[in-house]
A = this chain, B = another copy of it.
Amino acid sequence: MAKGLPKRSEDFSGWYNELVGMADLAENSGVRGCMVIKPYGFAIWEKMQDQLDRMFKETGHQNAYFPLFVPKSLFEAEEKNAEGFAKECAVVTHYRLKTDPEDASKLIVDPNAKLEEELIVRPTSEAIIWNTYKGWIQSYRDLPILINQWANVVRWEMRTRLFLRTAEFLWQEGHTAHATKQEALDETAQMLDVYAAFAENFMAMPVVKGYKTENERFAGADDTYCIEALMQDGKALQAGTSHFLGQNFAKAFDVKFADKDGKQDYVWATSWGVSTRLMGALIMSHSDDYGLVLPPKLAPIQVAIVPIYKGEDQLAQVSEVANEIKDALIAKGLSVKYDDDDKRKPGWKFAEYEVKGVPVRIAIGARDLENGTVEVARRDTMSKETMPREEVVDHVAGLMDEIQCSLLVRNQQFVKENTHEVETWEEFVDVIENKGGFVSAHWDGTGETEQQIKEATKATIRCIPFDAQEVEGKCIFTGNPSKRKVLFAKAY
Within 8 Å of chain B (Cβ to Cβ): is A105? yes
B39 touches A107 (CB 8 A): no
Beta-carbon contact of B86 and A97 below 8 Å: yes
Point out the residue from B36, B120, B147 that lies within 8 Å of A64, measured CB to CB: B36
* Cβ proximity bits A62-85 to B, threshold 8 Å, 1 near / 0 not: 111111111110111001001000
Whether A69 pairs with B37 at a CB distance below 8 angstroms is no
- Asked whether A82 and B68 contact (CB < 8 A) given A31-B128, A89-B95, A96-B156, the answer is no
Q: Indicate if the CB atoms of B105 and A95 lie closer than 8 Å.
A: no
Q: Which residues of B contact A96 (CB under 8 A)?
A: 86-89, 91, 156
Write the chain B residue with the least CB distance to A153. B68
Q: Judge if A46 is at the interface, Cβ distance under 8 Å.
A: yes
Instruction: Return chain B residues, CB-CB under 8 Å to A76.
Output: 105-107
A residues with CB within 8 A of B: 27, 29-31, 34-39, 42-43, 45-46, 62-72, 74-76, 79, 82, 86-99, 105-107, 109, 118-121, 128, 131-132, 135, 141, 147, 151-152, 154, 156, 168, 170, 343
Contacts of A132 in B (CB 8 A): 27, 29-30, 36
Count copies of this chain in the complex: 2
Known A-B contacts A92-B90, A92-B92; the reply to A68 vs B152 at CB < 8 A is: yes
How far apart sit A170 and B63, CA to CA, in the bound complex (Å)?
Answer: 14
Q: Is the CB of B63 within 8 A of A43?
A: yes
- CB–CB A42/B67 < 8 A: no
- Least CB distance from A26 to B in Å reads 9
A88 cross-chain contacts in B, Cβ below 8 A: 95-96
Chain B residues with CB under 8 A of A82: 97, 107
**What residues of chain B lie closer than 8 Å to A75, measured between beta carbons?**
97, 107
Beyond A38-B64, A43-B62, A105-B79, whether A98 also contacts B69 by CB under 8 A is no
Residues of B within 8 A of A131 (CB): 29-30
Bound-complex Cα distance A74 to B31 (A): 10
CA distance A184 to B45 in the complex (A): 29
- Whether A29 contacts B128 by the Cβ 8 Å rule is yes
Whether A94 and B97, one on each chain, are in contact in the complex, defined by CB atoms closer than 8 angstroms, is no
Which residues of chain B are within 8 angstroms of A35 by Cβ–Cβ distance?
A: 67
By a CB distance below 8 angstroms, the chain B residues around A63 are 39, 42-43, 46
Tell me which residues across on chain B come within 8 A of A120, comparing CB atoms: 97
